[in-house]
Amino acid sequence: MRRSLALALLVVAAGVILAQEPPPPLSAAVRDPGYTYAPSGAFTVCVNHACIVANPAGTHYQFRRTTVLASTPMDSTTEALAETCFTFVGAGDGEIFEYSVRAILDDDTSFWSDPVRITHDLEPPEWVPYVIAQHCCSGGECAIYVTWQRAGDFALGVNGSEVRGYGIYRSPTPDGVPIDLGYITPTTPALAFVPSDGSEIYSFVDTLITPGETYHYIVVAFDSAGYPSAGIGHFQHFGNQIVSASAVGPGVCDLPLQAVLKPVPPVIDSLNYRVEIDDRAVWLTFSRMYQFVLEDISCGTADTTPWTNLPYYEWSLRDGHRYNFYARIRDDVVADTSDWFVRGPMLVDMSPPLGVDSLVASVEGSTIVVNFYVSDEGALDCLTDECGTHCGVGLMEYRLYRVNYDSLDAFFPYDPVADEAYLLHIYTAADTWRTDTSFYFRDDGSVLPLEDNETYLYIVITVDSLGHYSMTPYFGSYDTATADLGITDPALVSLPTWSTGDCVTLQIIDSSHCD
């Protein structure tokens, strides 16, 4: 009996002890948003549902943002909130933050959760830099090959969400419906979507075509910002390059292996130039590689690129130099290499011409005579470097201007259109360059009015055949003179006279020195 009573008391005591055990600890975790690149500057942090269920009623939550990479640190922590979600805002493009949460109930507080790292990607990828469409028919079957170069997605230069893939849009659609390729929306029907795999060159074969028809294409890059749970990713809505192909004839796939460059202009005013394989004359299939050579005629040197799968190359050039461009193609499927193809020569002319050797403005009576001198017209549009002297397209004309001190600020910096109000005369350069040549202009106020005692600045601006001009006057290409519109003839002006009886007093004014 005593033993049974003791056992019963022991069981009751154990039950009391068990009833007094503390509740399980609070827990907190951030719900997985389904992406690591946020599509905007905002991010909503939510508590994982399992933690909400496990925590007692009345549990509050604190939310924290910690800066990883940002132009301005934006660390912040909320108060304890009854809500289970909180939205942080204000992140910039490419900025990275970590978001975490902890639970609070009375005097109990959980540890901060493991953070979720989010990169904010606010901008779409770049436009596809190169895209072509080529038609080919073989054995009664026709197709259009769309080839393009990968696009980049750079936020803060390095933190873009990267390109997820490429949407290919065609007008008309396979159903024959024309669509506006100038502006793409999320509901614009795509012909296909090609996932990104990091390749430099991509290709898509469109077999849903009708011989004789013309088709228009664009290729649009999509990034992974917010994808898949918060959208399809950013993309360029407009400005995408439209290319066309007509399913007429055999197309370019039957052309022999040859490298044909697109024509190059005889003169450019840029220090960069991109040579391209002509897709109207060359089949740019995936199995082909390309090599390019730049011949600097002015220096007698040449640069050769490695083999590349890009059918173009952008060269850096030098002002005043002349160039030839070469290209060849290698096809690894047929184990053949084409001959070199050459375009050129092409002249680079970036610099404005030099100024005239001297200019003198002098007063002659009521006019101002301007003389300027040029020792060699052919040398005015030339420059010299370690490879020698190189000349541009050549001088076209001299422009003589006149300004006073009140109009100097309006005249400079020089603008040929805005400064036409100050133009006195234009002298055309000779077809065959002249040497030791003087130019003469008598300014009598018939072109632009002269004001007496006004000091004028005369300026000669040289202009080459591309329209380049010297931005500021060269030393020797300007001079000043003060207008003197005439000297008053001597005259005796009669004044009142009077007499004292013995003599007469006459008062006169000699105006011979009055002006």
**Residues 245, 456: Cα–Cα separation, whole Å:** 62
Work out the average pLDDT over 62-90.
96
Together in a domain, 329 and 376 = no
Together in a domain, 326 and 426 = no
Together in a domain, 286 and 362 = no
Work out the average pLDDT over 171-199.
94
Together in a domain, 472 and 367 = yes
Question: Could you tell me the CATH number of the domain that includes residue 53?
Answer: 2.60.40.10
**Residues 75, 91: Cα–Cα separation, whole Å:** 11
Work out the average pLDDT over 490-494.
58
Q: What is the pLDDT of residue 490?
A: 54
Q: What is the pLDDT of residue 150?
A: 93
Query: Beta strands 116-120 and 37-38: pairing type?
Result: parallel
Residue 253, in any domain of the structure: no
For residues 324 and 295, the answer to whether their CB atoms sit within 8 Å is yes
**Residues 358, 372: Cα–Cα separation, whole Å:** 5
Q: What is the pLDDT of residue 231?
A: 84
Other Cβ atoms less than 10 A from the Cβ of 378: the count is 16
- Percent of the chain topping pLDDT 90: 75
Residue 88, in any domain of the structure: yes
> Coil, helix or strand for 133?
strand
Angle (CA) 400 406 410, round 5°: 65
Pull the structure tokens for residue 397.
Answer: 């004309």
Confidence of residue 477 (pLDDT cuts 50, 70, 90): confident
Q: What is the pLDDT of residue 153?
A: 85
Work out the average pLDDT over 496-508.
63
Together in a domain, 64 and 137 = no
Together in a domain, 230 and 286 = no
Measured in whole angstroms, the distance separating CA 491 from the mean position of its chain's CA atoms is: 72
Residue that terminates a domain, selected from 327, 348, 369: 348
Together in a domain, 362 and 472 = yes
Residue 510, in any domain of the structure: no
Residue 98, in any domain of the structure: yes
Q: What is the pLDDT of residue 174?
A: 93
Work out the average pLDDT over 230-235.
90
Confidence of residue 215 (pLDDT cuts 50, 70, 90): very high
Together in a domain, 375 and 297 = no
Query: Beta strands 395-404 and 301-304: pairing type?
Result: unpaired
Q: What is the pLDDT of residue 451?
A: 94
Long-range contacts of 190-199 (CB under 8 A, 24+ apart): 191/217, 192/167, 192/168, 193/165, 193/166, 193/167, 193/168, 194/165, 194/166, 194/168, 195/164, 195/165, 196/150, 196/162, 196/163, 196/164, 196/165, 196/166, 198/150, 199/150
Q: 45-77 b/e with 16+ CB inside 10 Å = b?
A: bbbbeebbeebeeebbbbbbbbbeebeeebeee
Together in a domain, 116 and 135 = no
Q: What is the pLDDT of residue 507?
A: 61
* 319-323, 444-448, 460-464, 466-470, range with the lowest pLDDT: 466-470
Work out the average pLDDT over 488-502.
61
State the DSSP H helix or E strand holding residue 403, giving kind and residue range, or none if neither.
Answer: strand 395-404
Work out the average pLDDT over 12-21.
51
> Coil, helix or strand for 11?
helix
Q: What is the pLDDT of residue 512?
A: 47
Can you give the C-alpha Rg of the chain in angstroms? Answer: 41
Task: Residue 311: name the closest of 334, 281, 348, 336 by CA.
Answer: 281
Largest CA distance in the chain: 176
Residue 7, in any domain of the structure: no
Domain assignment of residue 305, given as a range = 267-348
For residues 218 and 432, the model is more confident at 218
pLDDT at 17 over 50: no
**Residues 137, 291: Cα–Cα separation, whole Å:** 27
pLDDT at 82 over 90: yes
For residues 39 and 225, the answer to whether their CB atoms sit within 8 Å is yes
Confidence of residue 358 (pLDDT cuts 50, 70, 90): very high
Q: For the whole model, what pTM was predicted?
A: 0.74
pLDDT at 441 over 50: yes
Pull the structure tokens for residue 359.
Answer: 């200019």
**Residues 277, 132: Cα–Cα separation, whole Å:** 11
pLDDT at 14 over 50: no
Q: What is the pLDDT of residue 249?
A: 79
Work out the average pLDDT over 15-39.
80
Work out the average pLDDT over 273-289.
92
Q: What digits encode the pLDDT tens for the residues 330-354?
A: 998 888 999 999 999 999 999 999 9
Angle (CA) 148 36 26, round 5°: 170
pLDDT at 152 over 60: yes
Q: How many domains does the chain have?
A: 4
Q: 331-350 b/e with 16+ CB inside 10 Å = b?
A: eeeeeebbeebebbbbbbbb
Work out the average pLDDT over 216-234.
92
Q: What digits encode the pLDDT tens for the residues 390-431?
A: 999 999 999 999 999 999 999 988 999 999 999 999 999 988
Together in a domain, 72 and 151 = no
Residue 118 phi/psi, 5° resolution?
A: -125, 130
Mean pLDDT, the chain, integer: 89
